[in-house]
Amino acid sequence: MSMGIPEIEDSGCLLCFGYNGADSHPIVARRIVRGKQKGMKIICVDPRVTETARISDIHLQLKGGSNLALVNAIANVIWSEGLTDDAFIREHTKGYDEFIEVIKEYTPEYAEPITHVPAEEIRRAARLYATTKPAMILYGMGVCQFSQAVDVVKGLANLALMTGNFGGPAMGIGPVRGQNNVQGACDMGALPNSYPGYQNVTDPKSREKFEKAWGVSLPDKVGCPITHVPRRILHEKDESKRIHAYYIFGEDPAQSDPDLAEVREALDKCDFVVMQDIYMNKTGLYADVILPATGWGENEGVYTCADRGFQRIRKLVEPEGDLKPDWQIIAEISTAMGYPMEYKNTEEIWNELIDLCPSFQGATYEKMEKYGCVQWPCRDKSMEDKGTPYLHKDGKFATADQKALFYGTQWHPPLEKENEQYPMTLSTVREVGHYSVRTMTGNCRTLRNLEDEPGWVQMNTEDCRRLGLKKGELVKILSKRGYCITRCLPTDRVTPGATYMTYQWWIGACNELTIAELDPVSNTPEYKYCACRVEKIEDQEWAERHVQELYEDIRAQMGIHTGKGAKA
């Protein structure tokens, strides 16, 4: 995020795009609510009536999969009505004219049939955003989990650039990262194309620096993204590229990745699968080796929150059992393979890595201890450098000439369209009381009692009436790739023809249905759009029993044999 989370409530106008803070980050949603109370204008772009949409000044309830058409149309209005910040564009950006060539044709009238948003509403939103300062954009998975994702992110950045909304507090553009340490995993270079601190593996200078620090020669070509792994195991013809071993650390691809049938086949065919985790999970069923690690609350370390803030995590309780911290397990394997890694504690590792990353160099443990949180960039170890609340100060960008670049791209429709057999669409969303694949929150008593298997499918009340479905009834939901059983939740917050399922469930596992089509740049799957069909189950008693049995089976596979706790 270019801004800090606390700044949100001080913005003049928030464009909230495909981001449902109330379910994914209630404490960020709190800032939005407070902003509203302070007079902030809200434009919400979402196919559902989210909590933010409910309190917004303008809600653009667009058709799923039309993001870029809408973003380009907003840009078109700002340009054609002369609402741009010309001085900012002149002094701090490049590529504006080429960008205008692309968005010229995206008049609100052109976008209306694609987005299902009335042209006049698009105009109203564009005017409000462009004429209120400071204006901020927040976006979430409703932007990222489409096959056209990176283009939309650039499209949103274009809006901030053409209105001069960079360089000060409470403005700019912010992806609100979903999981607690997604930002941190990226910062640390758990990415196929970059070393820690966003230093590119294809850049010879960066590579030399890391080669020198680590005392080995390093590969120069970009590695395999996680979403390519199933096909690189199953279908790769080039023997030098085929994957034979998969070391899975703190992830559960057999639950969280798209098209689960393909993932299971891949894990089954992979020669050697190592799983390092805290709880048994679905991936564990395919693992050749399981390495038990200490979890949050049992070890020390640092997380990075969504607005670039480094914060300490601390040990609360002593781990019970034969467990080791993750870093120690990795270090021991490396040492056993002939590349010694010896560290006494996490601070030693931290000190090694910040010295390799100029933008993190000043963020010492001492500073985190003293200030609680240090937002990168923090370049200087002196206690005076407390980090950077917002990026691009004075309109200076992290490019060679400090100028930002406009990128105009054409909208294209989602890859799988509704058809006769699968007339509805499915989008995956988050459950507010559960986290990720649920191995943590599913083992928390009250959270489990609030929501449990098999989850819900949110459907428009009209669709429910047509299919004869009542609230709480078990239904079957199918796509070309698979099916699952879940409960029906009729609601007028979703439009007819659309369905939404939370991705936390093992029985109501929506990723049995999702499509493994990827954004060509980010390689993020299109979780937010695939074609599906909902079927009524006539024998509800059988369905309830069946769900109960499935739950018992899964729990037994996960090593729980007591029969307690199953209340699906």
Partner 1 sequence: MNLKQVQTTCPYCGAGCQISFTVDTDANKIVEAVPADGRTNAGTLCLKGHYGWDYLNDPQILTKRLRKPMIRKGGKKSPLVEVSWDEAISYVAKRLTEIKEKYGPDAIMGTGSARGAGNEANYLMQKFMRACIGTNNVDHCARI
Partner 2 sequence: MNYFVKGNPDLCIGCRTCMIGCVVAHEGKRIFEIDPDSYTFNPKLHMVKTAALSVPVQCKHCENPACMAVCPVGAISQKDHCVVIDTDKCMGCKSCMDACPFGAINMVPVAGKFQADGTEKKVANKCDLCTGLPGGPACVRVCPTEALTLVTEEELEEAAEAKRKKAALNAFSENYPQE
* Residues at the contact surface with partner 2, assessed by CB under 8 A: 21-23, 26-27, 29-30, 33-34, 36-37, 49, 51, 54-55, 432-433, 445-450, 491-493, 564-565, 567
Residue 229 lies near partner 1 (rule: CB under 8 A)? yes
Q: Give the integer Cα–Cα distance in Å for 255 and 282.
A: 6
Shortest approach of partner 1 to residue 338 CB, angstroms? 8
Which two three-digit tokens encode residue 116?
A: 């299902």
- Helices 119-131, 108-115: axis angle to 10 degrees equals 120
- Integer Cα distance of 380 and 333 in angstroms: 34
Residues numbered 303 to 322 that lie near partner 1 (CB under 8 A) are: 303-307, 309-318, 320-322
Q: Could you tell me which residues come within 8 angstroms of residue 390 by beta carbon, excluding any fewer than 6 positions away?
A: 2, 3, 4, 7, 168, 169, 171, 172
510 within 8 A of 501, measured Cβ to Cβ: yes
205 touches, from partner 1, partner 2, none (C-beta below 5 to 8 Å by class): none
Q: How far is the CB of 173 from partner 1 (least distance, A)?
A: 16
Residues 354-373 that bind partner 1 (CB under 8 A): 372-373
> Is residue 201 a contact residue for partner 1 (CB under 8 A)?
yes
Using CB under 8 A as the binding rule, whether residue 254 contacts partner 1 is answered as no
Binding-site size, partner 1 (CB under 8 A): 156
Q: Which of 110, 279, 407, 483 binds partner 1 (CB under 8 A)?
A: 279
Shortest spacing between CB 37 and partner 2, in angstroms = 8
Please report, as a single letter, which amino acid is at residue 413: P
Do 326 and 250 contact (CB within 8 A), yes or no?
yes
For partner 1, the binding residue among 65, 108, 134, 525 (CB under 8 A) is: 525
In this complex, which beta carbon is closest to partner 1, that of residue 387 or of residue 395?
A: 387
Side-chain half-sphere CA neighbours of 413 within 13 A: 10
Q: How far apart are CA 22 and CA 33, in angstroms?
A: 10
Query: With respect to partner 2, which residue has the nearer C-beta, 151 or 452?
Result: 452
Beta carbon nearer to partner 2, 69 or 498: 498
Smallest gap from residue 432 Cβ to partner 2 (A) = 5
- Cβ atoms of residues 324 and 294 within 8 Å: yes
Which partner, partner 2, partner 1, none, binds residue 218 by CB below 5 to 8 Å per kind?
partner 1
CB 76 within 8 A of CB 103: yes
Q: Which of 348, 354, 307, 306 is nearest to 328 (CA)?
A: 348
- Choose one: 71-79, 153-161, 299-307, 397-405; the region binding partner 1 (CB under 8 A): 299-307
Q: Which of 57, 265, 298, 385 binds partner 1 (CB under 8 A)?
A: 298
Q: Which of residues 424-443 bind partner 1 (CB under 8 A)?
A: 432-436, 438-443
**Distance separating alpha carbons of residues 141 and 528, to the nearest angstrom:** 8
Min CB(257)–partner 1 separation in Å: 6
Least separation in angstroms between CB 313 and partner 1 = 5
Does 397 interact with partner 1 (rule: CB under 8 A)?
Answer: no
User: Tokens standing for 181?
Assistant: 């340490």
What is the H or E stretch that residue 82 is in? Answer: none
| Alpha carbon distance 101, 79 (integer Å) | 11
Q: Which is nearer to partner 1, 90 or 344 (CB)?
A: 344
| Burial class of residue 401 in the structure, from the number of CB atoms within 10 Å of its CB (0-12 exposed, 13-18 middle, 19+ buried) | exposed
CB of 321 closer than 8 Å to CB of 292: yes
Residue 110 vs 303, nearer CB to partner 1 = 303
Residue 492 interacting entry, from partner 2, partner 1, none, C-beta within 5 to 8 Å by type? partner 2
By beta-carbon proximity to partner 2, the closer residue of 218 and 450 is 450
- Tell me 117's DSSP state: -
Nearest to 142 by CA among 226, 260, 53, 259: 53
Residue 342's binding partner out of partner 2, partner 1, none, with CB under 5 to 8 Å set by partner kind: none
Residues 58-117 that bind partner 1 (CB under 8 A): none
Contact flag: residue 257 with partner 1 (CB under 8 A)? yes
Task: Please state, in angstroms and rounded to a whole number, the distance separating the CA atoms of residues 554 and 58.
Answer: 44
Which of partner 2, partner 1, none interacts with 297 (beta carbon under 5 to 8 A by kind)? Answer: partner 1
Of residues 83 and 185, the one with the C-beta less far from partner 1: 185
- Tell whether residue 191 is a contact of partner 1 (CB under 8 A): yes
Coil/strand/helix, residue 339: coil
| E-assigned strand segments in 34-153 | 41-45, 58-60, 93-94, 135-139
Task: Tell me the C-alpha distance between 73 and 106, whole Å.
Answer: 5
x/- site string to partner 1, residues 529 to 558, per CB under 8 A? Answer: --------------------------x--x
Q: Which does 407 bind (CB under 5 to 8 A by kind): partner 2, partner 1, none?
A: none
Question: 37 or 419: whose CB is closer to partner 2?
Answer: 37
